Structure 1
Amino acid sequence: MKKSGLSVKVMTIAASLMLAAGAMSAHAQERKPCIGFSGAFTGAAAFSGLAVEMGAEVAIDEINAKGGVLGQKLSLVKYDDAGQPPKGVDNTRRVAMANNCIAILGGYHSGVALAQREAVEQIGIPYIGAFAAGTKIIEPDTGVNNWMFRVSAKDRWVAAYLSDVALAHSPGKKVAIFYENTGWGNGAAPDVKAALEARGVKPVAMETFNWGDQDMTAQLMRARDAGAEAIVMFGLDREGNQILRGMDKLNYKPAIASAWGLAGNLGELAGPLANGVFVFQTFSWMGKQDAKTAAVYDALAKKYKLKAPADLKAGSGTANAYDAIHILAKAIEAAGSFDRVKVRDALFNVQHRGLVANYAPAFGKSAEKHDAIQTKDYKLTAWHNGVLLPKDQTPYK
């Protein structure tokens, strides 16, 4: 019986699709035992890439010393995105397709993570954020999140946490919001406003600024004239330094309750002007350490030639990344495979006692539970004489 041209064409296409599916399946079985990481290794926040690298590498060293995962040694594949979203997207595709890694760690900048979302969902690779806290990274407007997870903070929760700190330092309940004009800042500002309003307080000012701005006195004068006694801030050290210098020039001394963008090198940049600035953290390496923390710090100090815990800039990212790698390794073992879908599904059942928290389990199926670290695990620190310390180890109340 003679086949029509259309039938032959359909059969040819079907065969091609079957071959492609087979090739993809075989390719999936050949996943490399590597974890990708796109982070800022250059630029003003270069310390952040190193912070995540440190935690991830020490965790990988521990895992490999015990035989690796599924009998293979893990490795970390690192790419610099310099805090630039397009580079983050390119790095995501490189990690997933050229390096063929199992998963990818996320870095410091929420703008980069937000840009990575589409590629992560299209490709289908587990993303575990170790730093960037933008709410919509995990809870996008579309409501679709199949692959994005986070062992870090969530800005919606951080906003509520910092609002409480600011209100505790504002007798008149007059709070201003300062935020950078980026995906992170613009996403966080509504979270802070909503958190304050939920507490019966309307912010007296909402002021924004750009990366690289040198003079913030105009914004500060508006906040001062509005009576702001405290500021909730979402910005980075470089601009935070300029804000503190503007406050000094104006002799204006509101309390500052900041997200962890001021946790890197503000003490170095601003000197004594940074004293008393409160900064949210998920973890602090300072002060008395428990046995687990001390052991991990010793490994970090040896590998990276640290002289003191204060050398860990943005140390929350280090602890978050350390925990994220251990959670991922347990998911791979539970999956019994390097297949990304199986590893992703196994993440929902991982139990792990980490540095930052006891993850029991690490993740759940709801959008909120794609965030592993809960508000009960948050910590408040303060800059004092160039060092970021737990608040109770400082003179600031």
Structure 2
Amino acid sequence: MTSSRLSHAFRWLALAGIALSPTAALAQKAPCIGNSVATTGPAAFGGAAIKMGAETAIEEINAKGGVLGQPLKLIQYDDAGAPPRGVDNTRRIALADKCVAILGGYHSTVSVAQAEPVNAIGIPFVGVLAANTKAIENGRSPNYMFRVSAKDKWVARFLVEKAMAQSKTGKVAFFYENTGWGNGALPDVQAAMKAAGKELVATETFNWNDQDMTPQAIRARDAGADVVLFWALDREGNQILRSMDKVGYKPTIIGAWGIAGNLGELAGPLANGVQVVQTYTFMGEMDPKKKALWDKISAKYGLKDPQDIKMSSGVGNAYDAVYIIAQAIEKAGAYDWAKVREALYQVRMEGLVANYDPAFDDSDPERQDAILPKYYKLTAWQDGKLLPIEQTPYGKTN
């Protein structure tokens, strides 16, 4: 850590009332992984999924002797989807708890805000849900922000490809929330459309908690869009579907995974056929590896049905991220931020979600992201369940 970073760290700790000597600041870090996610608020299911995946992986690792002879532990903080709380949690995890790494949560606005303290302090951050491109591709060198999740730049290309395959008119609209996540996705979607030789016929935005999206629905309908791409959370996704239904507009809807939580519950039959990108799902048929993990998680958390998990991708991504971090610590030979960061580029493993070969590539700025688009999966809502699309009536069109 540079002297300026240490100075920044000491100032924060002084304000927080935490005493720390320079010797302690430079000491080996603790065998813990911090987890700053939303465990309260409308997206708490995302935080719960991340916690399930991370805790399960840590239990398995510790049952085999831990990492470098020490058991790992997860230290949990709630950011409630609020960037200032995410920043505060980041500093606490790094400077007070002295954890070896941080997991990032559901909200892109929080992850974007965390990039500054993560890189100022120099602690490895591994995001496991938030997909905003610039949270990870932030221009820092060295860059301590990594991700085992989807990336909006790649998700945009994936969804546009699906949209063009399903559109009969070639006319696509884009509905996106007025946040860092939604606004950040707009240029990614526009670039993907341009690469496909098309332009969006409508771009419609909305705010959190908006109740009526009728004007946006009418404009997209009148523009002739027969496919609409969503960058929305379940709550607003529900309102868009209801507004579309009100004006008799029934396009094909394909969305980023903000509508992968409880849209089926909120919108009921209106959600049927809505397609959503995922990296992992417990729904539908399970292979032996997935079944073994589900058995562990269902027993530990008292779950009765895979649909009790509202964000399976968060479970799978967090599970793999913990194993990647553990392998990096082993390769580094120490609980040391800089050494672990360098070792992350050396990790190769077969995970739940993907074959990480390698997990990250320091020769490519885009490869601070571990899950490549070839591992993305398309799912669809059907009768309140988010199933692999090939297991629904809608799979015949894909």
1:88 paired to 2:86: yes
1:35 to 33, 36, 39: 33
**Partner residue, 1:385:** 383
Shift of 1:291: 1.7
Q: Is the 8 A contact 2:29 2:335 kept in 1?
A: yes
**Partner residue, 1:79:** 77
Distance between the aligned counterparts of 1:168 and 1:246, measured in 2? 25
Distance 1:201 1:127, change over 3 A: same
For 1:151, the aligned partner's letter is V
**Partner residue, 2:14:** none
TM-score by length of 1: 0.93
Runs of 4+ more than 2 Å apart: 22-30, 142-145
1:284 paired to 2:281: yes
**Partner residue, 1:334:** 331
Distance between the aligned counterparts of 1:287 and 1:264, measured in 2? 16
For 2:354, the aligned partner's letter is A
2:304 to 280, 304, 307: 307
Question: What is the total number of aligned residue pairs between the two structures?
Answer: 378
Match of 1:178, SS state, is strand
Shift of 1:26: 4.9
Distance 1:145 1:187, change over 3 A: farther
Distance between the aligned counterparts of 1:203 and 1:339, measured in 2? 47
Match of 1:318, SS state, is helix
Deviation string for 1:80-108 (max 9, x for gaps)? 11111111000000100111100000001
Q: Is the 8 A contact 1:234 1:258 kept in 2?
A: yes
| Structure 1 segment 15-164 matched on structure 2, within 5 A | 24=22, 26-140=24-138, 142-144=139-141, 146-164=143-161
For 1:87, the aligned partner's letter is R
Match of 1:248, SS state, is helix
**Partner residue, 2:345:** 348
TM-score by length of 2: 0.93
Match of 1:380, SS state, is strand
For 1:36, the aligned partner's letter is G
Distance between the aligned counterparts of 2:85 and 2:79, measured in 1? 5
Deviation string for 1:126-158 (max 9, x for gaps)? 000000010101112x35452010000110000
Distance between the aligned counterparts of 2:323 and 2:361, measured in 1? 17
2:175 to 157, 163, 178: 178
Shift of 1:352: 1.1
1:222 paired to 2:219: yes
1:199 paired to 2:196: yes
Distance 1:222 1:371, change over 3 A: same
Work out the percentage of aligned pairs sharing the same amino acid: 61
Root-mean-square deviation (CA, aligned residues, Å) is 1.6
For 2:173, the aligned partner's letter is A
Distance between the aligned counterparts of 1:28 and 1:66, measured in 2? 29
Distance between the aligned counterparts of 1:194 and 1:360, measured in 2? 28
Distance between the aligned counterparts of 2:24 and 2:41, measured in 1? 40
For 2:41, the aligned partner's letter is G
Shift of 1:28: 3.6
